[in-house]
Amino acid sequence: MRKQFLFIFLALIVANTSQAQGKTTRIGYIDMEYILENVSDYKEAKSQLELKAQKWKQEVEAKKLNINTLKESLKAEKALLTKELIEERETEIKFQEQEMMDYQQKQFGADGNLMRQKAALAKPIQDQVFTAVQDIAEAKNYDFVFDKSSDLTMLFSNKRFDISDQVLRVLNRTEKREQLTKKQLKEQEAKENLENAIDENPAMADRQKALDEKKAAREKLIQDRKLEQEAKKKEYEDRRNAIAAEREAKKNGTVSGTAKTASETPAATEAAKTNATAKPAANATEGTTTAEPAMTKAEERQLLYEQRKKELEEKRKKILEEREAAKKAKEAGTQKTNTTNN
């Protein structure tokens, strides 16, 4: 009931202010829970507090288990005990139950350690948030700024009036400014002005998102081309080294294992097998074991040329597919932007 009265009271204030001043009233809101969850210092301290709370829960469970053990023991031995011993054990059980309840209330009650430490943990950041909200409200002429996570019930809230991200940026800027040089400060201020302009204009935010997507696609294409050039360069170097090693081996009358491994391709291996099959009869007739090269230099160059041509064709096809995918993504983003503006 109190929330409803508060909401009606605020609505009347807004209406009266708008009529009295004859201007549009600017209203914004923040989500304090969202802000706190995105502040690194708060998250770390909250994790430590959760570990404490888990330890307290374990202690409560241990006390409950001990009480249950006492109850089961009394139930099993009750027929053998005197009235005085039974009353004594029951008194002990009640005492431990009360002690457990007091401990639970102390740690998890409305005014317990958990709630107090949570409040103490959030207060410094909340003070910073309130200061940031005041600065934003003065700079952008907000008449009212509400907290979505407070007692005020917001039946509907348009996302474009949410300034929580702006508050987070102010908090992060305060930490970063102490470590920036003058040049970096100027760049940071320019970036902040752009972010503020985007916050004020949703259409500009959509355009900026489309530009960021184009930039990411362009950078990816440049990176792919760079990797492709490096791969081509490495492949060329390997081929040149393999050919040089093979020539040196032929010149010395030996076959280099490195040259053979580097120069053999699936096509070259197949050609070597064909030559080896065609020559056994001739070698048997001559009765010699003269070593002959698997193929001539012209054949080798032709095989390398065919292999290179095939690889380039596959890479070209891949690049065309990536460009087509980027084009479709761009068209989809443009169509979505047009739909949103309409």
Q: Domain segments of the chain: what residues?
A: 27-200
Q: Looking at residues 302-330, what average pLDDT do you find?
A: 83
d(CA 296, CA 271): 11
- CB within 8 Å of 157: residues ≥ 6 apart: 29, 148
User: Residue 267 pLDDT > 50, yes or no?
Assistant: no
User: Residue 233 pLDDT > 60, yes or no?
Assistant: yes
Q: Looking at residues 217-246, what average pLDDT do you find?
A: 85
Q: Looking at residues 163-174, what average pLDDT do you find?
A: 79
pLDDT score recorded for residue 263:
46
- State the alpha helices, DSSP H only, in 264-296: 266-278, 280-286
pLDDT score recorded for residue 16:
57
Q: Which two tokens stand for residue 166?
A: 């702006």
Assess contact for 213 and 330: CB atoms under 8 A.
Answer: yes
- CB within 8 Å of 154: residues ≥ 6 apart: 29, 146, 148
Confidence of residue 69 (pLDDT cuts 50, 70, 90): very high
Please provide the distance, in angstroms rounded to a whole number, between the alpha carbons at the two ends of the chain. 41
pLDDT score recorded for residue 131:
87
The one-letter amino acid code at 290 reads T
User: Residue 184 pLDDT > 80, yes or no?
Assistant: no
- For 287: left if phi > 0, alpha if psi spans -120 to 50, otherwise beta; the answer is left
Q: Looking at residues 291-300, what average pLDDT do you find?
A: 60
**Which of 117-131, 173-187, 241-255 has the lowest average pLDDT?**
173-187
